[in-house]
Amino acid sequence: MRRVRRFTPLLYVLPLALTLAGCGLSMASDRHDVERLMLIQTMGIDRLDGRVHVSVSTGLGPEEDPALVMTASAHGIEDAIARLQNYSPENQLFYAHIQYLLLGEQAARQDLSRVIEWVDRSPTVRTDTALVIVEGTAKDAVTGASEQATDITQRLASLDRQARTVGWSVHTLREAAAAISEGDGALCLAVETAPMDQTIFTDDMRSDAVIPLGYAVLGPDGLADILTPEQSFGAELLTGDPTGLLITVDGSTMEVLEGSAELKGAYGPDGAPAGISVRCTLRAGVLEKSDDAATPEELDAALSQTVGRWVTGALETAQTTRCDFLGLKKAVLTSDHALARWGGDWTDIFPSLPMTVTVDGFVDRSYDLPE
């Protein structure tokens, strides 16, 4: 009898084991068999004709199986996702491993906050998914960049690696959402699609390439602007590390060896911001000299002048779009507490603040370049 009593707790616990997820009998309604999961690696969202279009790509299979690419439209993101599932009755589309989230230009303008909310509510999509804005539609990028041997995920992964090597920054949805919710703006990589058959003349290369454009500016209301490559360089110099980027100055191609920027606020007698001065230092190495060979001093001056224009362009875009995507407020706040004491509304005053840009450019000749 005592031995039976010893096992009594086990008898209580055993029925509870029936509630665990297992072979068919489970209380969890979203139980999935692993072999029936179809992992989505890239998702594109567009706003076309008043409807949300969601395009997905599964990425290449383990044995180089071609990627499955699908697209569906509905009134909302969740509706469109539910529709996509209808096209794949055999397999469960699984969104927990999305690596790239592409937003078409129109969706980025209208639906950015909707996308951020959807990711917050989604129990599967990660917030550190790379966010990329597509000039045009994300649908074209997702569906057009896939063929037998490659797909959009591979192309974006390659672009990601290349971008990081040459100095562009790939931002995540979390970084963008955090900056936007703070009332600042955010930068994220912008790309365009271009037909491969304009470059590679073989019959089996008919898909599209994905080419980086520079940065898109995201504000609280969505996509505010897409910077030109030159303005993007200015933005990268102010916010990140432009080392490795190639620039052309007076017909000479140069590689940025190092660059930095210092921002400082100027204040009126009442403590109100009166302006921002930006001082950049840039060192570049000449890779290819132009035929109109300039003196080293002239090249230094041209570099300073050209990059000064690009930085000014980035600052002007920040002011016209009223998006502080360059983090000016934070830079001024940390470098000088006068603004913190002033306590006014930065968004009101920032677009009309005079900005002074000074660039100290130094061009290394080929014999100065590291091996």
Q: How far is the CB of 204 from other proteins (least distance, A)?
A: 31
Query: Which residue of 29, 86, 198, 199 would you call a contact of other proteins, by CB under 8 A?
Result: 29
Query: Which residue of 294, 333, 349, 355 would you call a contact of other proteins, by CB under 8 A?
Result: 333
Cα separation values, 365 from 235, 280, 285, 368, Å: 26, 20, 6, 5
Q: Quick one: 124 or 148, whose CB is closer to other proteins?
A: 124
Q: Quick one: 78 or 316, whose CB is closer to other proteins?
A: 78
Q: How far is the CB of 135 from other proteins (least distance, A)?
A: 27
Cβ proximity of 317 and 217 under 8 Å: yes
Q: Quick one: 18 or 48, whose CB is closer to other proteins?
A: 18
Convert residues 143-182 into a mask of x (bound to other proteins by CB under 8 A) and - (unbound): -------------------------------x--xxx-xx
Query: Which residue of 51, 114, 126, 309 would you call a contact of other proteins, by CB under 8 A?
Result: 126
| Span near other proteins by CB under 8 A; candidates 150-158, 295-303, 315-323, 330-338 | 330-338
Q: With contacts defined by CB under 8 A, how many residues of the chain interact with other proteins?
A: 33
As a whole number of Å, the end-to-end CA separation of the chain is 85
Q: Quick one: 20 or 200, whose CB is closer to other proteins?
A: 20
Q: Quick one: 127 or 281, whose CB is closer to other proteins?
A: 127
Q: Quick one: 96 or 287, whose CB is closer to other proteins?
A: 96
A 10 A CB-CB count for 213 gives 17
**Residue 79 tokens, joined:** 């509706």
| Span near other proteins by CB under 8 A; candidates 118-126, 134-142, 143-151, 346-354 | 118-126
Taking the C-alpha atoms of residue 346 and residue 349, their distance in angstroms, rounded to an integer, is 5
Q: Quick one: 91 or 127, whose CB is closer to other proteins?
A: 127
Q: How far is the CB of 185 from other proteins (least distance, A)?
A: 13
Q: How far is the CB of 208 from other proteins (least distance, A)?
A: 28
HSE (CB half, 13 Å, CA atoms) of 202? 3
Query: Which residue of 7, 340, 365, 369 would you call a contact of other proteins, by CB under 8 A?
Result: 340
Contact positions toward other proteins, by CB under 8 A? 5, 8-9, 12-13, 16, 19, 27-30, 96-97, 120-124, 126-128, 174, 177-179, 181-183, 330, 333-334, 337, 340
